A = this chain, B = another copy of it.
Amino acid sequence: MTPLNTPEVLISEVGPRDGLQSVKATMSTPDKCRWIDALALAGLREIEVASFVPARLLPQMADAAWVVQHALRHTGWRVMALVPNLQGAQAALAAGAQKLSLPVSASPAHSLANVRKTPEAMVQEVKAVLQWRDAHAPGVPVEVGVSTAFGCSLQGVVPEDDVLRLAVQLAQAGASEVGLSDTTGMGNPAQVKRLFRRLQQEIGPLSGAAHMHNTRGLGLANCLAAYEVGVRSFDSSLGGLGGCPFAPGASGNVVTEDLVFMFEAMGVSTGIDLAHLMAARTPLQEGLPGEPLYGMTPQAGLPKGWPV
């Protein structure tokens, strides 16, 4: 469980939240726990295990508090929960979540469609969450991901100045870190470098994770681009589960297995054991029979002579 070397990048597994939230089927609580146990064994250091939203909206997440509590049995990783608002944050903190993640969309059209609030109203919501956190769970980091940062399927182009202005507002509000999400898979490596460089210039060490999608096949290239400008934290999903795929075969989220393979092959340590990571596909598949899993490295297997 404890890597020998300090990992150079943080791979934040979002499958149990982002993935399970996106599929029609509901994975049972015991199946979720088995999957999470397998992920812990692989040496992950951060995992987003649930979304705290009303069960009538997302029945897949009705057991969020149970799942958080199960994940907390494992040490060596940080158990994160996504919360869309103060009410969710209250529930997540009560359940013992060690980190909160809030999505705030840079596209007003997407924000209204997704949470029925403008980006400005969401900044106020983040402030309310931070106040509650300060009063009831000081020290728990609150990460904000700026969604549709690289484009929006409703609005089209999202001006980079809008993204940066929002990121600065969130940093000033007190967010622990502010990352950028390519929610609709419209980003490209040049844009990824440009936006993360600007983000670093604007908010320095609060500059957070890259949440890339593989919608048009550029997921890993975009992660590489982010890495090259200094990003060291990446969201991805086992089997590429979730992330609003557009079409069959078009995975949404970056596949954790391929992302870890890329970094490890480059000599960039992730702290993750690839064989155990790939083994965690089994409980995922068993818990979601018939659901397509993606990933090229699991299909091809590790190269002869691995690890190099």
Interface residues of A (CB under 8 A from B): 151-157, 184-186, 188-191, 214-218, 220-221, 223-225, 228, 246-251, 255, 258, 261-262, 265-268, 295-297, 299-301, 303-305, 308
Contact = CB atoms under 8 A, between A and B. Distances in A.
Given A215-B300, A220-B220, A156 B305 contact: yes
Nearest to A266: B190
Contacts of A268: 190
Copies in the complex: 2
The 7 A-B residue pairs with the shortest CB-CB distance in the complex, in nearest-first order? A156-B305, A217-B296, A188-B265, A217-B258, A190-B266, A247-B299, A186-B303
A297 B216 contact: yes
A156 to B, nearest CB: 3
A221 B152 contact: no
A76 to B, nearest CB: 27
Listed residue (A156, A216, A218, A268) with the most chain B CB atoms within 10 angstroms of its CB: A216
A157 B308 contact: yes
Given A157-B308, A224-B225, A189 B266 contact: yes
A154 B305 CA distance: 10
A116 to B, nearest CB: 21
A241 B142 CA distance: 45
Contact of A216 (B216, B246, B300): B300
Contacts of A155: 304
A159 to B, nearest CB: 11
B153 A304 contact: yes
Nearest to A294: B249
Nearest to A152: B304
Contacts of A152: 304
Nearest to A193: B266
Contacts of A151: 303-305
Given A153-B304, A157-B308, A299 B225 contact: no
Listed residue (A246, A250, A255) with the most chain B CB atoms within 10 angstroms of its CB: A250
Contacts of A261: 216-218
A186 to B, nearest CB: 4
